[in-house]
Structure 1
């Protein structure tokens, strides 16, 4: 007798009776995969151990103080989590293989074990391997328990026996429920195991950290519904060939999602970078055309970023446009504004735009710096090494103000810059740091004239 199969969408988790090229629920193409149907007897049988019967409460009687936060021992991680981890929450940490997810989770155990009992479950490493890595990271505590297991039922039994305060699962793609016929890492397994861990966290008040690998598109491997079930989704990003790593929140039910944490990978683990602006500007070339510094807001933190541009004559009918860390459509718009309003013939040039350090700039405050970097490369005229630029550019070439400008200017001055090009201010409410010359311009043409004078 042929085993019954169902079809899942890897983007939204929707089930269909047959394969289709496009998911009828979310509209994603080529996202339908076939998996063995779960047995009827497996309808939550493995999850009953994680449940604690609860009762309904009037919302007026609930206290917000019940949301208990605690520090993970890493200020950068606490910043991204919104001030610390929340008791009873489920946190998903995603990233490419080898980026440092397991190192980050094992490293925070050193601080967590001072006041809590931690169970580290690894489906990828043996206890001996975990011990060697813990010694390299200088993590040693009697409150840290390690378990090398991939069966969900055995993990739940160990949780029941040890009663940990914090559970770390590395990784969710290696965990499987033996009552399901599908292999570990499949859509149904990832979905079922995550649901079980969520009930464990909410039912028993255990803080659960789950590590998940990302696919080639950069999203968590498994159904998109996985990200909807958890409380926080953190992405650990960076180039494996570089030492710097950036941790950012894609979802956070207990805080903001626009904070970032910066780390540096060393031989003995991850080191927090408390001043990312200085790190991102290190090694900046002096008096080189095609580079300009701007200040963006990553949550409540101002961060200086270097924008590099390169314009070269194209030998093809359609010039090439490439952007790394900068929105492609916005870069194309700025090139059009530069040609129409700045009178620079850039339409016949190959254009390359790059953000140093792996940052992704998604706010319009970086427009003016991108425009100046492109013009500097086209004119082969360097911008002063002590000059920064902040401002949004409109389609008519006008410059518009940005929020938190005073805070941005203070960061610009703190890093040693002596001049900043900003949109023309209306009013005197702007705080002007001592030693920082503010050059106010109304449009792209005036900004280019400032570049010509430098």
Structure 2
């Protein structure tokens, strides 16, 4: 008898019996993947009523909320301050953390490096489905990881993994990667939605049932998302994305979900021959090598979680040779760049519609915060007029469609970071800035709209 299959949407997790080019639930295109259907016997057993003879455990009964004991979560340091910052102050005992990123970005390196510190006070089991134990040891020696509390296991079978965990009883479990694990009771191939979902559920039961801190590595596909992201994200406690470009040595670890801390927190690392090195001052690092007295560059300050980070925005405008000007954006939303170009022409009086526009953010950052609008506007105007922006000036503010400038949140923290990095001038909106405490040595240039900003700087 032919096994029945269903189709899962990798974006929303919706299940449908037939394949279609567009998901009927979230309307996303080309996201349905095939997976074996769950047997009817399992569904009936899961939905069996109490009269069928099934009895629940005595401890698993509803209790009033007032009787539930609450204690602070037990945290421990991983040995890397940048990772502890993203996790919200350290890893939580009994938590399940998903670390995603493109292949070769440094996920396995990061996990193996924290083992050197963790294995000094805890038992760590590192399970790899991609490398042999000998390969792991060679990589560990290159990263100077030689602790005796680290145990290695090359395994892809979920049943054997769980059996090894029950025998060793480790405090910390690292699985690299979840796409290589499979449950032999399922007929689906490793890496499919059904296998990834089932294996993650089993690891979650280990984490919650035995109090084991589990780190799971997940590769992203060519669209930039973990296989079955909506299926996995609701299971795990933390979702960390490792971002960066292979041509660039800097790596950014970003928290997309965290039940124990703030989201959108970032940690910055530098990939070298000896592994990942922490970058405690990312603003200074991202601004290193900045050109002086050159048109088309300006500095802004964005908030990554609770950390202010200074970023350099560059732009190049040149007369176009095509009927339709070319627009290229790297590190900035493409549609927002087009909107700001339209505002610059309509409200700023600069005819940029006949120019090719190229926008770039240095260091691999992606600025999705409106506070970077003013800096990009100044950068575009500087390139168009071929006049440099003062090197000691930073710009912070949101730009509206009418050309007005709006204030942003956490402006005091941003100004403190701007002054700490040696800047002496800051261009910012005049609205809601009367109560600001002006840092010593920092001149605040307050403007109301785009025209005033261009007149004050260029």
Q: Give RMSD over aligned pairs.
A: 2.0
Per the TM alignment, residue 290 of structure 1 is displaced from its structure 2 partner at its CA by 0.5
* Most deviating of 205-214 and 138-147: 138-147
Q: Distance in 2 between matches of 1:332 and 1:259?
A: 28
Per the TM alignment, residue 57 of structure 1 is displaced from its structure 2 partner at its CA by 4.1
* Most deviating of 14-23 and 225-234: 14-23
Per the TM alignment, residue 252 of structure 1 is displaced from its structure 2 partner at its CA by 1.1
SS at match of 2:283: helix
Aligned twin of 1:392: 398
Aligned twin of 2:17: 17
Q: Distance in 1 between matches of 2:375 and 2:386?
A: 16
Instruction: Note if contact 1:39-1:179 (Cα within 8 Å) is conserved in structure 2.
Output: no
Q: Distance in 2 between matches of 1:95 and 1:262?
A: 14
Q: Distance in 1 between matches of 2:322 and 2:417?
A: 42
Aligned twin of 1:444: 450
* Most deviating of 56-65 and 239-248: 56-65
Unaligned runs of 5+ in 1: 46-50
* TM-score, reference length from structure 1: 0.94
Instruction: Note if contact 1:7-1:18 (Cα within 8 Å) is conserved in structure 2.
Output: yes
Aligned twin of 1:344: 350
* Most deviating of 147-156 and 329-338: 329-338
Q: Distance in 2 between matches of 1:158 and 1:114?
A: 21
Are residues 1:89 and 2:95 paired?
Answer: yes
**1:70 pairs with one of 72, 76, 82:** 76
SS at match of 1:201: helix
Instruction: Note if contact 1:9-1:223 (Cα within 8 Å) is conserved in structure 2.
Output: no
* TM-score, reference length from structure 2: 0.93
Aligned twin of 1:48: none
Provide Cα deviations, 1:169-208, integer angstroms capped at 9, x if missing partner: 0000000001111111111111111111111111111111
Q: Distance in 2 between matches of 1:12 and 1:425?
A: 41
Provide Cα deviations, 1:45-88, integer angstroms capped at 9, x if missing partner: 9xxxxx99755443223343242111111111111111111111
**2:181 pairs with one of 170, 175, 184:** 175
Q: Report matched runs for 1:76-225 at 5 Å.
A: 76-222=82-228, 224-225=230-231
Instruction: Note if contact 2:9-2:228 (Cα within 8 Å) is conserved in structure 1.
Output: no
Summarize the Cα distance change of 1:126–1:38 in structure 2 as closer, same or farther, 3 Å threshold.
farther
Summarize the Cα distance change of 1:219–1:53 in structure 2 as closer, same or farther, 3 Å threshold.
farther
Q: Distance in 1 between matches of 2:324 and 2:261?
A: 45
**How many residues matched?**
447
**2:425 pairs with one of 414, 419, 422:** 419
Provide Cα deviations, 1:258-300, integer angstroms capped at 9, x if missing partner: 2100000111111110000011101111111100001111111
Instruction: Note if contact 2:126-2:150 (Cα within 8 Å) is conserved in structure 1.
Output: yes
Unaligned runs of 5+ in 2: 46-56
SS at match of 1:367: helix
Provide Cα deviations, 1:122-162, integer angstroms capped at 9, x if missing partner: 00011111111111111122221110000000000000000
* Most deviating of 203-212 and 420-429: 420-429
Q: Distance in 2 between matches of 1:89 and 1:236?
A: 19
Per the TM alignment, residue 25 of structure 1 is displaced from its structure 2 partner at its CA by 2.7
**1:370 pairs with one of 336, 355, 376:** 376
Per the TM alignment, residue 321 of structure 1 is displaced from its structure 2 partner at its CA by 1.7
* Most deviating of 280-289 and 53-62: 53-62
**1:359 pairs with one of 359, 362, 365:** 365
Moved over 3 A (4+): 36-43, 51-58, 425-428
